[in-house]
């Protein structure tokens, strides 16, 4: 039956389609313009259909954020595989991957770190964000083993690192950092962070 009509067309996966379309309009028209009714219209279903897959508008946003964390995690992990073995290289690659993701997904990052998540979804979210920081921990432990990172509790280095990375990404995304000097600013930040991580003894033994 090749009627040529688009039919109701949603035998398929409405849930996934909603998420995909939501991220598109998020990027195109901003978070304020994201409405369940418009999403349903775009997908050719009734406005009540989405409620079968997301109990809430917030539930959809949470799912979007969770997917964002997954993808950010993947991007960060990938950056480590193409990087050199040295701590400096790995840190640089991590930083560039984080900021790259942030600028390419500005609205999504905003959503991921906004404070509206209901407690139910928060569990999944903090789990996802923790998986991210595990990567930082490994990076530092490895650097300590190689003697390229100062000794001390991992958290005393991992937290400042995570904090700095995210701060740069967040400021770049919000436009608080002049976009003209963004690249050199990032290099400044990487260099500064390396300094903070360096071991005490400057010369060779």
Partner DNA sequence: ACCTGAACACCGTTCAAGT
Interacting residues toward a second copy by CB under 8 A: 30-32, 106-107, 110, 113-116, 122, 126, 129, 155-157, 159-160, 162-168, 170-171, 173-177, 181, 185, 188-189, 191-193, 195-196, 200, 202
Q: Nearer Cβ to DNA, position 58 or 133?
A: 58
| Minimum CB distance to DNA, residue 42 (Å) | 10
Q: What, of a second copy, DNA, none, does residue 156 touch, CB below 5 to 8 Å by kind?
A: a second copy
Among 36, 61, 161, 169, binds DNA (CB under 7 A): 36
Q: What, of DNA, a second copy, none, does residue 164 touch, CB below 5 to 8 Å by kind?
A: a second copy
Q: What, of DNA, a second copy, none, does residue 29 touch, CB below 5 to 8 Å by kind?
A: none
**Cα–Cα distance between 114 and 104 in angstroms, integer?**
18
Establish if 80 lies at the interface with DNA (CB under 7 A). Answer: no
| Minimum CB distance to a second copy, residue 51 (Å) | 18
Establish if 53 lies at the interface with DNA (CB under 7 A). Answer: yes
Among 47, 145, 146, 183, binds DNA (CB under 7 A): 47
The secondary structure of the chain as a DSSP string is -------S-TTS-HHHHHHHHHHHHHHHH-GGG--HHHHHHHHTS-TTGGGGT-SSHHHHHHHHHHHHHHHHHHHHHHHHHHS-SSHHHHHHHHHHHHHHHHHHTHHHHHHHTSS---HHHHHHHHHHHHHHHHHHHHHHHHHHHTT-S--S-THHHHHHHHHHHHHHHHHHHHT-S-GGGHHHHHHHHHHHHHHHHS-S--S--
Establish if 35 lies at the interface with DNA (CB under 7 A). Answer: yes
Q: Nearer Cβ to a second copy, position 44 or 196?
A: 196
Q: What, of a second copy, DNA, none, does residue 14 touch, CB below 5 to 8 Å by kind?
A: DNA
Classify the C-alpha dihedral 128-190-185-95 as positive or negative.
negative
Residue 21 neighbours by CB under 8 Å, 6+ apart: 39, 42, 43
Among 46, 86, 130, 163, binds DNA (CB under 7 A): 46
| Minimum CB distance to a second copy, residue 35 (Å) | 13
Residue 32, both tokens: 């304020």
């Amino acid at each position: 039956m090749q009627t040529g009509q688009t039919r109701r067309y949603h035998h398929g996966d409405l849930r996934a389609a909603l998420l995909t379309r939501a991220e598109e309009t998020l990027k195109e028209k901003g978070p304020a313009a994201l409405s369940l009714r418009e999403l349903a219209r775009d997908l050719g279903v009734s406005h009540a259909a989405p409620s079968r897959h997301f109990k809430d508008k917030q539930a959809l946003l949470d799912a979007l954020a969770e997917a964002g964390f997954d993808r950010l995690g993947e991007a960060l992990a990938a950056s480590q595989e193409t990087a050199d073995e040295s701590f400096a290289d790995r840190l640089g690659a991590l930083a560039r991957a984080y900021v790259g993701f942030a600028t390419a997904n500005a609205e999504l990052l905003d959503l991921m770190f906004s404070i509206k998540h209901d407690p139910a979804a928060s569990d999944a979210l903090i789990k996802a964000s923790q998986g991210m920081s595990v990567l930082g921990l490994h990076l530092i432990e490895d650097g300590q083993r190689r003697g390229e990172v100062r000794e001390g509790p991992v958290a005393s280095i991992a937290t400042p690192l995570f904090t700095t990375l995210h701060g740069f990404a967040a400021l770049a995304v919000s436009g608080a950092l002049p976009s003209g000097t963004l690249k050199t600013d990032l290099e400044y930040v990487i260099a500064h962070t390396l300094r903070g991580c360096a071991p005490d003894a400057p010369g060779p033994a």
